[in-house]
Each structure stands twice: as C-alpha cells, then as structure tokens.
Structure 1
Amino acid sequence: MSPSIHAHDVQRTNRLASATSPYLQQHAHNPVDWWPWCAEALALARELDRPILLSIGYSACHWCHVMAHESFEDPATAERMNRLFVNIKVDREERPDLDKVYQTAHQLLSQRAGGWPLTVFLTPDDHTPFFAGTYFPREPRHGLPSFTQLLVGVERAYREQGAAIREQNRSLLEALAGLEPQGGAELPEAGLLEAAFHQLALSFDAEHGGFGRAPKFPHATDLELLLRRQARLAANGGDPDPRPLHMAGFTLERMIRGGLTDQLGGGFCRYSVDDEWMIPHFEKMLYDNGPLLALCCDAFSATGESIFRDAALATADWVMREMQSPEGGYYSTLDADSEGHEGTFYVWDRDAVHARLSAAEYPLFAAVYGLDRPPNFEGRWHLHGYRTPTQAAESLGLNLPQAEALLASARATLFSAREQRVHPGRDEKILTAWNALMIKGMARAARVLDRPDYLESAEQALAFIRSTLWHDGRLLATCKDGVAHLNAYLDDYANLIDALLELLQVRWSSADLAFAVELAEVLLDEFHDAERGGFWFTGRSHEPLIHRAKPLGDDSMPAGNGVAALALQRLGHLIGEVRYLEAADGTLRLAAESMRRMPHAHASLLMALDDWLDPPEMLVIRAADDRLETWQRLAQQGYRPHRLVFAIPSGIDALPGTLASMRGGERPLIYRCRGTHCEPPVASLADL
C-alpha cells in the first residue's frame, strides 16, 4: 500500500472504525462524521443544539447498502450532514432496544410500518423523534423527497418551528406511554387459541401456502402454534380437525420447495417478495433458521414426510459449515448482496447449468427447478421448485429413486461450482439471543434426527456463551472478535433458558440446569415488573431511553414475554419453583387484553397460555443402565409438544427442588408429573 493511499484512508476513517459491529464498520470510511450511540455523542448534540440524525440498519440489509452508496458515501451530502446534525449510526441487531423504540415512534409519526434503513431526527436535549422515515433516495422519486432536500427541510423546521416540535414531542411521548399494557385481574381465556386459529385460517393462502399476500415471511411461531393445536386435538380424542396440520405442513413444504430455501446449500432466506415463495430477499438470518430448523424437525415428527427431514438436515449442515465460528458461537447473517448486486451468488445462467450437468441430470433438474421456463430473476434463474421430483420423474419416465439420485448429484455439482463464486458478506458478530434460537434448533435436530454432531455443535455454542458472554453473573448481548459488550436484553435471557430446557431433553447436565436457574433469577431481578406483571425488554441497570417497552406481540422473533412465560412455567414445574409460575401467570394476565384484540399476533404467548391451561406431561427417568437411553428414546417418539422427557442417570444427586425427591434406585424408575401434581414412580414405560 502506498503512503499516499494509506494517509487518505486514515483521513477518511471516522469513529465507527473501532466498533464491534460489522455494519458500523461498513460505514467507517464514509465522509460522514458518524458517531456510535454513546454518551459523548448525545452530550455533543446538547452542547451544539443540533438535531441528532439517527440512522439504524444492519449489515445484510439491501436498501441500507443502497442509501449508503447514494448518500453517505457522497462528499457533498456528507458535508451537509456534518454541518447540520450530530450523526449517529446504530446496528439494530446490537441495539434492538433503540430499534424497537424508534420503530414504534416512526409508526406513530408516519402512520405506516417502519423498516430499514430507519432514518430518525431527534431533538438534542431529550432524544425524542420529531421526524422519521426509512429509505430516502438521492433524487426525488416515488413521492419521496431527495435525502438532501430532507436534510435541509428538517433542520429548518427545527430552527423555525421549535414550539410546534415541542408540542408534538409531548404528544408522542404520551402516545408511547399509552401503548403500555395495563394488565388485568383475569387470565386470557382458552377461546383465544381457537380465535387465533380462525384468524390464521381466514388469511391462509390455499394455493401457495403462508398467510396473506406478498411480501411473505416464514412466521415459524405461527406454524408451530398450528402444529401444537393439531397435537392437542389429537390427544383429546375423536376426529381432529385436519386443517391446522395442513396449513402448517403445506406452508412449510412450499417454503422448502421454493426459492425461499437455498436449494443447493441449505438454509432459509428472510422472506419472499411474491406470493409463490419464489424470489426471496436473499439474506439469511440466524434468527429465522433456528426456529425453522426446529419446525422442520417437528413437521417430520408429526408427518414422517422426508421433505421435512431433508430440509432440517440441509439447514443444520449449512449452519455448521458456514455459520459456526471456530470458537463455537454462531454468526449472525449472510448478506443479500455479493459483487454489488442482490442475489448474484445464488442465480444461474441456463447455459452454465446445462454445461455442468450430464445429459441424464439436466432435463430432470430443469423440469424441477424451472430452467425449462422463462427466467424469473432479472434475466436469470433462481432455483424454485415448480414441480415435485415425483411429478418431474413421471413426465420423464423415471422412477422416484432414480430421479432423487440424479437431483442429488446435480445439486452437488452445482454447489461445487457455486463455491468458486464471490460469497455474500457474513456478519460475524455473535448475538446471545440468536445463538439461543439456533442452539434450540440444533438440539431439537440432534434428538429427532439422531445426530450427535448437531448436539456437539449446540454444546459448543453454549460453551462460547458461558465463557465469553456470561460475565459477573450477567449476560452480555453481543461479541465480535473476542470483544463482548452491551447489557443483554429480555430476549437473550428468555431464549437461552428455553434453549437449555431443550438441551436437557437431549442429554442431562446438572450444570445446564443450574445455569438455567441462574438466568431465571436474573430475569426476575432485572426485567420482571412484579407490580403490574410481565417483563420489560431492558433491564433495571440499562441506560434510560425515551420509552421502556414490554413486547407482547411476535415480530421477526418470538416475543420475549411469550418465551419467558413458557420457559419459566416449564422450569418452574421441573424444579417446583412457585415464583417462576407466578411470574408466568402475571405475564399472561398483563397480556390478556392485547391478546384479545389480535390473538394471532401473539402466538408465543398463546403457547404459554396453552401450557398454563393444560400443563405438559413431564417424565423424569432415573436409571443406571442402557434403559435410560432406550426409555428416553421411546418416550420421545412422535410429535409430543406437550410432553417433556428428562433422562437423569441414577448416579447424579444434589438435584434442586422437586427433582431431589426423584431419586434413582437399584432399578430404573419413571416419575410422571403434570403441573404441580406428581404420581408415584413406576418401573417401566408400560406401567404409565
């Protein structure tokens, strides 16, 4: 590197160069005088009496890249930003607390849904937003002003309309406060489970699967709710309604066969831009793939259909191959873009595919994945299952085993060729909550698919959290290049307790149970509102923000209050800790009114309600011989979301709470509990 180039780079580096977030580092060489969100930047805005321009995005966000290229890399635009504002850049994955607050404020100000990049202008003294939008173009178009016009107009409004802005800010803060659930004396009624099912059924797309119209998101929590409903109906006897299983299975099958899934490398993309699950927004997010991996395992357990098993295997293999760090933690995302364009890594020219596949492979591959049709993505082909292997095989006179072997061979050939391309960028920060979701998914896959390597992967990720993100009895939210920081959020604690309960059903670990109890105690101490019920998203020791939320509805991730209520119930029943059950009860009471208004938007809380109304069966197996593993496997056969099985070797003692009384003896014993009621132990599964 020449000295002149090096000096130029140093001159162009801003304060984001030392950030742990790859997203912030992407903006480290912008001519914008960016700050991270910090006390120093906030103090500077107050001192200068300049509005704060807050820009929130994430590294895999396509339109974030577009706006950065059009505006933040432009010296003239940057000069105006630097002169008029204190500019703060935030990674929404590291700071979901800020993102949740200002996305909500955007919805209140603009009366429309938010998204990324989020562009918010804050008053410097109290950080209240007085104007908010998302992407703004370089030139005026689509009814949007140019970003430069926006900068000038917003700054002038701040100078000339101060009184009006203060009045609007007061109203906004009142509106934010008014969003908080007030709670009630009554628990949500059982009928909400039925109401949520009917709402999902009304919006179900019977032709393509999913709910509503494009853009279509996976919504793994909704599909899990439907599978659980089918299992509950079947357990109650009679002829169960086949619709819940059909809606969940058909939707998942269409997602797996379609372009939402990487047909060569495994894993699911973020969402589909069309009704058919054909063309995705190409980024792959860890927080989608963890729950979808678990869901594929559940669907396989419920139906025995190989498509769900194969999708689970492909997803778990992709995670281990591309998303697990050498230290054990799971990386966050793969970018939508490569070589400056969205989807470039994934799409194909037909001639290139034809040249690489054999004469036997190509006609079948083309028939399944649409290369015998017009291109579906900017003149090229993104692989989408237009026909099933069975349909394509019949049309070509092949039997199914022949067809599946040819397709597997063709996919392997094209995967090897694709590996030579420039790969999408990978965000290598390790987020505690997202890792917890994937640990749960890998643990479920290890158990259902009998894959010890998946268990090892999950245990390595958990070990990373214990060694790097658990410090002085508290979790940290994020780690990059060995640097862990930021107080963890509700989602971190709740999802990690949930993941530990899943791991304990694969193999027993007293250390993991003790860790789950430690996390639960911090959850109650830092996040629980003992007076009104529920859990705040940020802990008591977190920095004060303009709003402290208790998230109840699911969005791209399951709601922290729903996961907390479910996990605390199960942990509370396992060890007999009444305080955990009371916290779950209070959370459901707090959420009751919100759940009544829109049942289907609260799938996580509905699953917690389902467990509360009819607690799951809990089996504790104590044995010193091979019957421990054999009985565990038999007890876990099939899809049993309302049964938890813990196989504890007889030699393990010093167990907490009610587990202490479930001793192992000279002969194997099985203890069965439901809620707070336990039965005398029996000596075999048949005796149950």
Structure 2
Amino acid sequence: MPNHLAKETSPYLRQHADNPVDWYPWGEEALNRARQEDKPILLSIGYSACHWCHVMAHESFEDPDVASVMNQLFINIKVDREERPDLDHIYQLAHSMLTQRNGGWPLTMVLTPDQVPYFAGTYFPKSPRYGLPGFADLLRRVEDLYRNRREDVAEQNASLLEALQGSGGAGPGSGEISRAPLEAARARLKESFDPRFGGFGEAPKFPHPGDLFYLLRDYAIHGDTDSRHMACFTLRKMAEGGLYDQLGGGFYRYSVDEQWLIPHFEKMLYDNGLLLAAYAEAAGICRDSDFHAVIEDTVAWALREMRDPQGGFYSALDADTEGGEGAFYVWTPKQVQGLLTPEEYAVFAPRFGLEGPANFEGHFWHLFLDRPLGEVASSQGLDTEAAQALIRSAREKLFVAREKRARPGLDNKVLTSWNGLMIQGLARAASALDRPDWTRAAQQAVDFIRRELWRDGRLLATYTAGQARLNAYLDDYAFLLNGLLELMQAEFRSEDLAFARNLADVLLEEFEDKEEGGFFFTGHSHEQLIQRPKNAFDAATPAGNSVAAFALQRLGHLLGDMRYLHAAERTLRSFYGMLERFPGSGASMLLVLEEYLSPPRIVILRGEAERLPEWRRALEAQRKPDDMILALPNGLSDLPDALNKPQGHPVGAWICQGVTCSPEVTDLSQLI
C-alpha cells in the first residue's frame, strides 16, 4: 500500500510513495504522532537528481527488513530539500555542529519529538562497508540512546539549540565600510586559483558563479587584469571540458576531477541560469566568440528540455538512467563510428577525446574538447570552416541518436527561486546577443509566476501539475526581484516594474530583521521551527540576503526610493563582519559592497519605439557589469517620477549615478 507520500506534489517524495517505509511528509500529522507515541523522528532529506539518495533508497528504503526496523522504532519523515530549503538549512547546519563535518544529501537526522536532532549523518549502506555501520543496526543503537539515555540527549539538545540561535549574522565588523574585503577576496581567489585548468581549489570543482561575477566586475570597473584572466580562463576551461554537455548544451552540477572532465551528471536549473548570466557578462570582457555558442546551446537546452508548456522552468534532470549514472551521455568510439561518415569521424574523434583512453568507469568516453579545431583540421588537410562543418553534422547525428536512449528522470517542479535565476540568465543573454525571442521566453516565465504563484499579494514557492503551494522563502523573492531588474533592461514592461516593487515591499514587510538588519530566510508568518535561518554565505546558489540587498540597492537607485537603499545598507552592515573574516565565502555580498561604495551607472533612454533598439544595441557594446540600461518607449503611463523623462526628441538619454543625472543627450555618438 502507498504510504503518506502518495498525494504529495514533489516528484522526489512521490518516488518514495511505494516504499515499505511508513513515510510521512513534514507536517503536523507526523509531528503530533511523534509526540503522542514518544518516538524519535527519522528525518531523511534529499532531492530527485541526487545519486546517493537513489542508492540509499534502493538499498534500505525499498528493503522490507530495514523498513520494518524504521517503522517499529521511528516516525519517518521524508523531505524534498528543494521544496523545504528552510528545513534543509537548519538540519545541514545542525549536522555540521554535531559531526564537525560538512553535510550533503541524503541527509539522515534523528530528532527528538520536539524536532531537535541528536544524531546526524548522510548516506548509510544497508550492510557495513566504507567504514560505515549497517543502517538497520545503526538505527537500533540510535533509538536506544533516546530510550535509555534521555538526560544525555536532553543536555546535548540544549547546547545545540543555543549554538543554532547564535549562528545568524556576523556583526558590523571592525570599522567603517571600505574596499578592504574586496581586496582580500581578490587575494584569496588568486591564492586558490588553478593556473592549469582554471577554477579554484582542488577536486571536486564547482562552477562558483558568484566568484566569476565578482572577478568580471573587478576587471571591468578597476582594471585588474589578473581578475580578468582568472574569470575568462575558468569559463573557457569549463566550456571545453566535460562539465559542459558538448552535444546538447547546458552544464552539469560539478566536476569530480580538477580538469573539469568528468561531471556528476545531474543538470540543475539554478546552475544554468547563473552560468548563462556569467557567460553573457563575460562575452564582451573576455572577447571570446566561442562563449556565444555556449550561451546559444545552453538556452536551447533550457527551452527544449526544461520548460513547462505554460512558460515556467522545471528544476532538474537526474544523473541516473536505467543504465546507471551518466549512461545517457557517454559513448564508445565504436558507437560513434557507426553513426558518422569516415570524414566526420576523422575530425570528431580527435576533437572530442575519442582517441584517448576511456575516461569514464574504464569503459566509456565522456566528450570534451581535447584538441584545437585548427590542429585537427590541419591534420586532415582541411581548412577550419570545412572541419567545423563536419563537426556540426557529426554533433547533429549523435544528438539525434542520443535522444533515442532512455532519458534521465525529470523533476518537473517549478520553483519560484530557481526560475528567478533562469529569468536573470535569459534576460542577460538576450541583451548581450540581441535575442528578443529569449526576452519573450523570460517574460513568459515571469507571467507564469505572476499568474500561478502570486496569490493575495504573496508568493508561493513551488508549482507542480497545476498545484501551487508552500509559502515562499527569502530566495524566492530576492532571486525573482533580481531577475525582473535584468529583464526590464532587455525590454521594459510597466507590469514588471510594478511586480518588482510589490516583491520589494513584501521583502521589507515580511522578511526584514528590523533590529539587526538583513533578512530572515522565512517570513514572519512562517511555521515556527527550531531556528530561523539568516545568513549570507553563498552555497550552490547565492545567499538570499546578498541577492536581496543587491536588488533592493539597484531598485532604490533606479527609483530614488530610500526605503530600499536603507534596507540594503542595513543588510550590508549586518554581514560586514562576515566579509572581513571570510571574504571568500560571500562573493554575492561583495557585489553589494562594490555598488554601495560606487553606485551603478544608470542610462535611461526615452523615445520612439522603433528608434530605441539601435541605441540599446550601441550601448550594450559599451556596457560594464555595473551598468543598468532601460529603454522606455514614448506613451508609457504610470511611470515613477525618476523614470518619467520628457518625450521631446526621437530618442533622449540621461546618464545617472547616485543622486546625479546628466542633462539630456540626443545624439547617439555623443552618448557613447
């Protein structure tokens, strides 16, 4: 019989609906039962694209004997970390406090009935191996602790709660706000930069878009050529490696090796939204035309495979298929040779690493750019254009063949926060490459969210199969607000500005910490949990506090609204001590600091609709990352005073920074 997950909207939870484990979703029914029966709670947090989550499910949660132990001793709660990031934040932090190690997924926590954890771990095998105990035996010992050592558990829980309550913020720092954290972050990145393969630190390597945004701005604004090299070289190496899908476009989650060759094969919407924005920002700075192809193929992947028919974007593609992790993406030379002409194979094989040894599990080849195109062309007596044509036809044939394989699982949740990141990436790419069709796709995603996930003046966090639910979190409001600010620069719509102001007002009303500054992760009306998270450390996605402050600061400058500017400043001051002590952990807050010290340059164009695109394209070629460019056609009504410029010329332009605007400029060459 299905357990209590059968009616959930999360694809991840529904994957466990037929387990013999008596799973509950997080909620009062399960929590009340734990209190009434005086049973500890076994909390398992994961997500649909998580490889080790699937392994633990197959080994233990589908096993009747293990399930019997779980059902007898515990109230079992399964959580999708993407639907409930509030719970994931709290219990990942508790895991690190209890074990002094980083957490991950699956996260395995045992809680007392009042939700306080007294045991923490991640993956556990069914039988003892990897130096880990067997899961069922471990559970018996952990339950015995609760049953027979109550005083020890209570003492530990009290200490943990005290530590959790003291974990938010980092204080105002040592003195006046200055550029010191920016300089320290650049020095830290130089120390950890990999000069051979790009990226920062050792394997496994993650893309870290926040660091790349900071470095690109550091070069564009201050001219640091080392920053430019670190960002451009890293972006180039990621695009050449196996982190990038060389046939279908889009980036995988991270690389298991230092060379970006072999990824963990899930594709996440948030990575691709952020990297779209990074490559679009870098296209002009790095002067690398290959970045255009990366952007185009990544957008094509998102629109082809991740888009809901109503306009929103799905969450993730699984790493696994029926053939195992990565099976959808990898090849053998024999398979490739059987699909291509001899001429195509002669250039494709050396270009994409098929002439080297197998690089995945000893038997398969995962494609990456191994040899320069010019070198491959020369070896075959071809010019570059002819070789490129053969590569193009080969890629098309292999892509068509790959599409016939068993596909990775799709998590079709539409998450407001991650859609905000994709809207930002699409809009920035649309501006950089002059693609109005991408702008329309981003607008359709916004319209979907406004229609399906904006209820009674508040956002909801997730939508699946016609059902929107769960109060939105800080990230939902912050990421969507930032995406709207980028989208309005690709094409201005009055309704987007109105929506942005609504989101900003809810941020101040529902999430701001009025006493200490900054924003809580959950709203004031949210369910009461054992902690109310509030942090500005970047993780897989940028910190909500940082993005909220960045977007509010920009909106405040755009509209001349001091409420937004003051909230952003209070947030920066609240976390300035963190930037001083850990400048490498808050790259997104560094962007807030940069624009606090030097407000963004805002260019407002006002004029005839048919004339504005020419001016907009000319400015895009000159644009720096801290610039904001808005093109407002004549005839718009209800514009705020700061944007309601006169309409006397075919096109007029005003350049504003801080509280100062230039006189109107009516000649394009003079403006440039």
What TM-score, normalized to structure 2? 0.98
2:378 & 2:409 partners in 1: Cα distance?
A: 40
Correspondent of 2:81 among 92, 111, 124: 92
Q: 1:188 and 1:556, CA in 2 relative to 1: closer, same or farther beyond 3 A? A: farther
Shift, 1:640, TM fit: 1.1
Corresponding residue for residue 150 of structure 2: 162
Q: Deviations over 1:164-197 (max 9, x none)?
A: 1111011111111221225328554212111101
Shift, 1:444, TM fit: 1.2
Is 1:82 the counterpart of 2:71 in the alignment?
A: yes
In the alignment, residue 137 of structure 1 is paired with which amino acid? P
Corresponding residue for residue 162 of structure 2: 174
1:475 & 1:192 partners in 2: Cα distance?
A: 34
The answer (yes or no) to whether the contact 1:187–1:592 under 8 Å persists in 2 is: no
- Equivalence map 1:494-513=2 (5 Å): 494-513=478-497
Corresponding residue for residue 200 of structure 1: 189
SS of 1:15's equivalent in the other structure is coil
In the alignment, residue 251 of structure 2 is paired with which amino acid? F
In the alignment, residue 480 of structure 1 is paired with which amino acid? T
In the alignment, residue 603 of structure 1 is paired with which amino acid? A
Correspondent of 1:293 among 276, 285, 309: 276
2:464 & 2:323 partners in 1: Cα distance?
A: 24
Corresponding residue for residue 53 of structure 2: 64
Correspondent of 1:143 among 131, 152, 171: 131
Is 1:283 the counterpart of 2:266 in the alignment?
A: yes
Corresponding residue for residue 114 of structure 1: 103
Q: Deviations over 1:379-435 (max 9, x none)?
A: 111112222222322333332212211111111110001111000000001000000
The answer (yes or no) to whether the contact 1:565–1:608 under 8 Å persists in 2 is: yes
Corresponding residue for residue 102 of structure 1: 91
Is 1:337 the counterpart of 2:323 in the alignment?
A: no
- Equivalence map 1:394-543=2 (5 Å): 394-543=378-527
Q: Deviations over 1:77-104 (max 9, x none)?
A: 0011001000000000000000000000
In the alignment, residue 208 of structure 2 is paired with which amino acid? H
Q: 1:657 and 1:161, CA in 2 relative to 1: closer, same or farther beyond 3 A? A: farther
The answer (yes or no) to whether the contact 2:170–2:578 under 8 Å persists in 1 is: no
Correspondent of 1:272 among 248, 252, 255: 255
Corresponding residue for residue 3 of structure 1: none
The answer (yes or no) to whether the contact 1:302–1:639 under 8 Å persists in 2 is: no
Q: Deviations over 1:424-477 (max 9, x none)?
A: 000001000000100111111111112222112111111110100000000000
SS of 1:455's equivalent in the other structure is helix
Corresponding residue for residue 121 of structure 2: 133
1:638 & 1:219 partners in 2: Cα distance?
A: 26
Correspondent of 1:578 among 559, 562, 579: 562
Is 1:618 the counterpart of 2:607 in the alignment?
A: no
In the alignment, residue 227 of structure 1 is paired with which amino acid? L
The answer (yes or no) to whether the contact 2:169–2:535 under 8 Å persists in 1 is: no
Paired residues, what number? 669
SS of 1:89's equivalent in the other structure is strand
1:657 & 1:215 partners in 2: Cα distance?
A: 50
The answer (yes or no) to whether the contact 1:298–1:639 under 8 Å persists in 2 is: no
In the alignment, residue 615 of structure 2 is paired with which amino acid? W
The answer (yes or no) to whether the contact 2:279–2:291 under 8 Å persists in 1 is: yes
Correspondent of 1:41 among 30, 44, 54: 30
Corresponding residue for residue 551 of structure 2: 567
The answer (yes or no) to whether the contact 1:323–1:331 under 8 Å persists in 2 is: yes
2:378 & 2:590 partners in 1: Cα distance?
A: 43
Shift, 1:666, TM fit: 4.5
Greater shift, 387-396 or 331-340, is seen at 387-396
Corresponding residue for residue 576 of structure 2: 592
Q: Deviations over 1:566-602 (max 9, x none)?
A: 1001111111110100000001100111111110211
Moved >4 Å (runs of 4+): none
SS of 1:360's equivalent in the other structure is helix
The answer (yes or no) to whether the contact 1:300–1:309 under 8 Å persists in 2 is: yes
1:219 & 1:322 partners in 2: Cα distance?
A: 24
Shift, 1:631, TM fit: 1.4
The answer (yes or no) to whether the contact 1:270–1:284 under 8 Å persists in 2 is: yes
2:276 & 2:168 partners in 1: Cα distance?
A: 33
Shift, 1:629, TM fit: 1.9
Corresponding residue for residue 678 of structure 1: 661
In the alignment, residue 439 of structure 1 is paired with which amino acid? I
Is 1:548 the counterpart of 2:548 in the alignment?
A: no
Shift, 1:296, TM fit: 1.2
Q: Deviations over 1:7-26 (max 9, x none)?
A: xxxx2x11111000000000
In the alignment, residue 392 of structure 1 is paired with which amino acid? V
Shift, 1:667, TM fit: 4.6
Correspondent of 2:221 among 220, 226, 232: 232
- Equivalence map 1:297-376=2 (5 Å): 297-376=280-359
SS of 2:592's equivalent in the other structure is helix
In the alignment, residue 162 of structure 1 is paired with which amino acid? R
Correspondent of 2:369 among 385, 390, 396: 385
Corresponding residue for residue 228 of structure 2: 245
In the alignment, residue 87 of structure 1 is paired with which amino acid? N
In the alignment, residue 534 of structure 2 is paired with which amino acid? K
- Equivalence map 1:210-225=2 (5 Å): 210-225=199-214
Q: Deviations over 1:48-81 (max 9, x none)?
A: 0000000000000000000000000000100110
Unaligned runs of 5+ residues in structure 1 are: 1-10, 235-240
Unaligned runs of 5+ residues in structure 2 are: none
2:184 & 2:384 partners in 1: Cα distance?
A: 41
Give % identity: 55
1:686 & 1:347 partners in 2: Cα distance?
A: 51
In the alignment, residue 160 of structure 2 is paired with which amino acid? L
SS of 2:556's equivalent in the other structure is helix
The answer (yes or no) to whether the contact 1:120–1:133 under 8 Å persists in 2 is: yes
In the alignment, residue 616 of structure 2 is paired with which amino acid? Q
The answer (yes or no) to whether the contact 2:20–2:63 under 8 Å persists in 1 is: yes
In the alignment, residue 418 of structure 1 is paired with which amino acid? R
What TM-score, normalized to structure 1? 0.96
The answer (yes or no) to whether the contact 2:46–2:105 under 8 Å persists in 1 is: yes
SS of 2:571's equivalent in the other structure is helix
In the alignment, residue 59 of structure 1 is paired with which amino acid? S
In the alignment, residue 73 of structure 1 is paired with which amino acid? E
Shift, 1:681, TM fit: 2.0
1:353 & 1:332 partners in 2: Cα distance?
A: 31
1:88 & 1:495 partners in 2: Cα distance?
A: 29
1:225 & 1:398 partners in 2: Cα distance?
A: 41
Corresponding residue for residue 4 of structure 1: none
2:260 & 2:550 partners in 1: Cα distance?
A: 31
SS of 2:206's equivalent in the other structure is coil
In the alignment, residue 293 of structure 1 is paired with which amino acid? L
Q: Deviations over 1:92-145 (max 9, x none)?
A: 000000000000000000000000000000000x20100000000111112211
SS of 1:346's equivalent in the other structure is coil
Corresponding residue for residue 237 of structure 1: none
